[in-house]
Structure formats: C-alpha cells, structure tokens
Amino acid sequence: MPDNYTWIFAAIGVLFIGLSKAGFGGGLGMLTTPLCALAFGPKEAIGILLPLLCAGDAFSMYFYWSKWDKRNLKFLLPAVAVGVVIGVQMIGLFSKRQFNIVIGALAVTFVLFQLFKHVILKAEGTFRPSHKTGIPFGLAMGVTSTFAHGAGPVGAMYLIPQRLPKELFVGTTILIFFWVNWIKMPFFVVDQSMVNLPLLAPEALINWGTLKTSLLYLPLVPLGVLLGVWLNRRIPEALFLKCVYVLTFLAGVQLILNFDLVGWLR
C-alpha cells in the first residue's frame, strides 16, 4: 500500500483508539485493527497497536477513575490469561492471508452483533456476573483479543446485560481491557527464541520496528481520548455510529475478499 494511504488508514485507526477508550462510539475501536491491518499487514498491525491500546487505557482511566465495577475482574481475568495463551499458540498456525480473513470476520461479526444485539441480549431481569459465566466469556475475550484486539463484542455481551449506568459501564470496560491488554504484553514481547517456553509465540509480535511505529502514532491516542470525552458530552452518537459500522463492515469485507481497495479509492 502506498505510504500516503498507509498513513491515512493508520492515523484514523489510532485516533479511534482514543475515541473508543473515552466511551464515545460504542465499539468504535473495532475499526482500528482492520484499518491498521490494511496499512501494515495483520501481524505487524497487532504488534504496533498493543502499546497504543495500553496508552489509551492509561489516558482514559484518568477520566473514569474509580467509576467501575471491579467485581468483574475476578470472574474474567483468570480465563482471559488462559485464552491469551491459547491465542498465542494459534497465531503461528495462520498465514498472512488467513490472518486477514480472521480479522475481517471479527470485524463483520462485530457489525452484525451491533445490529442485532438487542435481540441477542434480550432477557428478563438483570444478569449477575459469576465465575460460571466469567470463564467462557474470559476465554473468548483472551483468544479474540490476542488475534485482533477484537474482544470488544465479547466484552459487550458480558457487560450490557448487567445494565450498568453509562458512566459505570464505560469505566468498567476500560478497567477490564486495561488488564486484558497488559496480560497480553509479555506474550507479545518475548518469544520462544528468547526463552525456551512452549507457551510463548514462535516470534515476538512487538519488536524495535513496531515500537518505533507505535511511538510515531502515539500522540493521536490522547488526542482521541480528549476528543472522545468532548464528543461524548455534546454530540449524539446515532449518525456517527452508522458511519463507523459501514466503514468497519467494508474494511472487514476487504480483508476477507482481498479486493484492490487502493485502486478503488483512486
């Protein structure tokens, strides 16, 4: 992909990290990985994005400090760690093309979930989190987050039925993914060539090259958080979300079908 398109797609994707971490746009962050996969390639995108996601978590926690339900951590995180280990093992089994298909499928699934979530999550009474529900959801979050930083729909399916107030919902989401992303970090930095441990990935997804790229785009993360906090308090989300879902769906379809997006844009 030409450098100008790489910069545009990646910049928009990283800006959306901040917007989503600030609680604006629902699952807006699901567009980040497909856009960056188009710009850099799937494995490179995953490695570049993790430090930026951790930075987004840190910035957004400032605005939502203590506005969370931390009980969810004890139900989810043990299974998340197991899911990350499983996901890391599976990464080495996929080619670049297959990786694109997985990321694209997660993006399309996310859009479909957003369209039908009221039907999917329809239930009487308030859902109460427990270890019984936390284990399967945690496993799914760990695997999907490792593959494409795409655990947003799974997290939403776990949190939305709890019917938390909006601010508490956003704060709890931020807290959960803060820990999910830091659980992934050691598995992304260290590989089997450094430590003879079969639980690690065959190759590190974060290296000096990906870190340099992450640092280049880092200023867009706090900018996105500040913009998201401002938008969340002043602008209705409905029309904006429709545009985001269309873009996410198109990016997912492009990754699955591998058509010439740059040529089409020209």
* Alpha-carbon torsion, ordered 92, 96, 98, 104, to 10 deg: 120
Quick check: 157 pLDDT over 80? no
Residues in the chain: 266
pLDDT digits (tens, 9 = 90+) for 111-154: 777 677 666 555 545 567 777 888 888 888 888 888 777 777 77
How many Å apart are CA 35 and CA 113, to the nearest integer? 19
pLDDT reading at 196 higher than 80: no
Tens of pLDDT along 208-241?
Answer: 888 899 999 999 888 887 887 777 667 665 666 6
- For the chain, the distance separating the N- and C-terminal CA atoms, rounded to the nearest angstrom, is 12
- Look at residue 2 in the predicted model and tell me its pLDDT: 44
Read off the pLDDT of residues 49-82 as tens digits, 9 standing for 90 and up. 899 988 888 888 887 788 888 888 888 889 999 9
Residue 243 in this model has a pLDDT that exceeds 80: no
- Residue 201's DSSP bridge partners are 191
User: Does this model's pTM top 0.85?
Assistant: no
Inform me whether the pLDDT recorded for 266 exceeds 60: no
For the segment 42-57, what is each residue's pLDDT rounded down to a tens digit? 778 888 989 998 888 8
Higher pLDDT, 3 or 176: 176
State the pLDDT at residue 23: 63
pLDDT of 14 above 80: yes
